Structure 1
Amino acid sequence: MTDIHFYHLQRQTLEAVLPTLLMKSRERGWRALVKIDSEQRLASLDDHLWAFSDESFLPHGTDREPEPDEQPILLTQGDENRNGAAILFLAEGADPPSDLDRYERVVLMLDGRDEDAVAAARESWRRFRGAGHAVTYWQQDEDGRWQKRG
């Protein structure tokens, strides 16, 4: 079964958290797929990942560019795992694909300031856990460190 991690964003934005998680995924040798529900947000994240830090580089692309299967990090709105990713990031209301077992890990990132997103995440938690997936919840402490809560 796939490990499902819920990251409850309360102190930082998706733009602040996602690059670090993507770097850690790449350090593990994993290819990553990032699914965003909106074309505008996908384009914004694409720009952000190129310029988020002067000291780091995150090679990535979108599924609309040539050879998406060559991208170590691929941004998409679709359900296809076109780059053979081991980890899937779901953000900003993106629905999980029907076959989660093709990933080692799925990370659902939810905006803690959006009550609808929190309610949807609770429902997803119940559904994933009921399907037998290992589900964990991560929340930042006062110092900004991620703490496993469940």
Structure 2
Amino acid sequence: MQVDFYHLTSPLDRVLPRIAERVVSTGGRLLIVAEPEAQRTLLDRLLWSYAPESFLPHAQAGAGDDSVQPILIAADITPANAARNVAIVDGQWRDDALGFDRAFHFFDDEAIREARLAWKALADREGVERRYWKQTESGKWEQAA
């Protein structure tokens, strides 16, 4: 199980669609978790409009047949679309993410304390590989730990 910690210094909309594209392009499914309804609505719009030449098939949980969605946006960490990848985008780590093959944990400066606690708590978990990503001044992501 791999957990990627992404410390956001620019908006989430610059990195989440690219990760979602990679997951879907390899035949995988992604569950995107955000508790606030307003954030889920914004994510839904983002995945439709982030780039004119792209299309990321997705839906919000409960809007139809969740089981057929390659990307499902939900308030909790229940993979109704049978996803093996989860992106936690509201800054609140959930240990239920450890039931997936890969977790992407996005947090900003407001949630850095909680992210550090999650990082430390996962250090002793057997079978968990942690990676920490930070942005360079040019906006590229580099692995820092």
1:70-89 to 2 correspondence within 5 Å?
70-89=68-87
Letter matched to residue 107 of structure 1: F
Give the aligned partner of residue 51 of structure 2: 53
CA distance in 2, matches of 1:124, 1:99: 12
- Equivalent positions of 1:1-150 (< 5 A) are 2-10=1-9, 12-98=10-96, 100-101=98-99, 103-112=100-109, 114=110, 117-132=111-126, 133-150=128-145
**Secondary structure of residue in 2 paired with 1:135:** strand
Q: Counterpart of 2:106 in structure 1: which amino acid? A: M
Q: Deviations over 1:35-82 (max 9, x none)?
A: 002011101111121111111111100112110010000000022111
Separation in 2, partners of 1:27, 1:129: 30
- Per the normalisation by structure 2, the TM-score is 0.93
- C-alpha RMSD of the superposition: 1.3
CA–CA distance in 2 between the matches of 1:124 and 1:14? 20
Question: 1:129: how far off?
Answer: 1.7
Partner SS, residue 37 of structure 1: coil
* TM-score computed with the length of structure 1 as normaliser: 0.90
**TM superposition outliers: structure 1 runs of 4+ over 4 Å:** none
Name structure 1 gaps, 5 residues minimum.
none
